[in-house]
Amino acid sequence: MKGRTIILDHLDEKEAAALMFDGQLEDLLIDSDVPRPGAIYRAVADRPVKGQGGMFLKTPDGSAFLRRIKALSPGQKLLVQVSGYAEDGKAIPVTQKLLFKSRYAIVTPEAPGLNISRSIRDEEERNRLLEIVHDIAGDTAYGLILRSSCVGTTRDEIAEDIDAMLSLADKVLGDAGGEMEKLCDGDGPHVLAWRDWVAPAEVVTDAGSFETHGVMDALEATKGTHIRIGSGASIYVEPTRALVAVDVNTGGDASLAAGIKANMACAKALPRALRVRGLGGQITLDLAPMPKKDRRAFETALRQAFRADDIETTLVGWTPLGHYELQRKRIRLPIFEAL
């Protein structure tokens, strides 16, 4: 199957969405029973954690943990948003920086100002979008960002999205009083696919389409740890409780350039390998041997590869043992848990 295809279906009665490109699984979203990222709670401060600068909170869905607290005392009520999936046995990670995000607009209550995505560089298009956002939201007290997906989109579609997000923000922020409660849920896989997979694609919604479009076969492959990355090289992606270990192997290539070739191929393949497996947190790369002079080229390739990835990933750097470390936000549920 050639081209870009978005498949909306269900897995074990759970809502799911898959993005395929030329028959290869590029992204996968599966719903779960745990709180979704983006959900907003009216929570109650419970107890501070000394030495960590954080506090445990009470929510209707269990304990949550808020970092970098200021002037917060036990019993105080506050609005928080789920920022990612919790590790097994740990509290729900939350933040006080609320975002109301849709396909075309992001409302940022704590960061006022009307802005256009920096990735939109065409001046004529930027001016058109600035005119739209000022006409529609010029008097709002909230901040608002128009996303790159607005390029070429009609004024009416953008206006509808802005109005919906501003209305949701008003409703949630105006409901800070009362007992602890979930004020709004995070988006499910089908809405996330509409919201974030904005490039042109064929959309398939028939029941059983995961089977007919090769998604189930691709899912079987993601359950394994071994990934071929070309020219006989491969990587092993193995999640542990503490971190995700990635081992790079050159295979049968015994040439002097085998190490750098395998490592560059790893840089290109790694974002997709992590994305479809839903892996985040601390990631350690055990790279193939290569001269230190080649490290900068590898870092450049890795940075370019993750720049095209939507999930926030920090390239931390080299360890004394020559490993490379990354920190990736946990906004996907690991596939071995989701399935």
Q: What is the pLDDT of residues 67-85, one digit of tens each?
A: 877 778 889 999 999 999 9
Residues 287 and 295: beta-carbon distance below 8 Å: no
Domain around 194: 1-31+188-222
For residues 242 and 311, state if they share a domain. Answer: yes
Q: Tell if the pTM clears 0.85, that is, is over it.
A: yes
Number of domains present in the structure of the chain: 4
User: What CATH number should be reported for the domain holding residue 162?
Assistant: 3.30.230
For residues 251 and 324, state if they share a domain. Answer: yes
Q: What is the pLDDT of residues 125-167, one digit of tens each?
A: 999 999 999 999 989 999 999 999 999 999 999 999 999 999 9
For residues 192 and 270, state if they share a domain. Answer: no
Residues 6 or more apart in contact with residue 35 via CB below 8 angstroms: 59, 61, 82, 86, 92, 186
Domain boundary among 62, 79, 95: 95
In the structure, what pLDDT confidence band is assigned to residue 1 with cuts at 50, 70 and 90? low
Q: Enter the tokens of residue 337.
A: 């848990």
For residues 150 and 160, state if they share a domain. Answer: yes
Q: What is the pLDDT of residues 181-222, one digit of tens each?
A: 999 999 999 999 999 999 999 999 999 999 999 999 999 888
For residues 165 and 118, state if they share a domain. Answer: yes
User: What CATH number should be reported for the domain holding residue 286?
Assistant: 3.40.630
For residues 146 and 206, state if they share a domain. Answer: no
Whole-number average pLDDT of the chain = 93
Count Cβ atoms within 10 A of the Cβ of residue 20 and give its class: 0-12 exposed, 13-18 middle, 19 or more buried: buried
For residues 207 and 237, state if they share a domain. Answer: no
For residues 146 and 229, state if they share a domain. Answer: no
Considering the chain, what percentage of its residues have pLDDT values greater than 70? 99
> Which pLDDT score is estimated for 53?
78
For residues 182 and 203, state if they share a domain. Answer: no
For residues 248 and 178, state if they share a domain. Answer: no
For residues 173 and 202, state if they share a domain. Answer: no
In the structure, what pLDDT confidence band is assigned to residue 51 with cuts at 50, 70 and 90? confident
Q: What average pLDDT does this structure show over 31-56? A: 90
Q: What is the pLDDT of residues 213-259, one digit of tens each?
A: 999 999 988 888 999 998 889 999 999 989 999 999 998 888 889 99
| Cα–Cα distance measured from residue 339 to residue 155, given in angstroms and rounded to the nearest whole number | 40
For residues 199 and 170, state if they share a domain. Answer: no
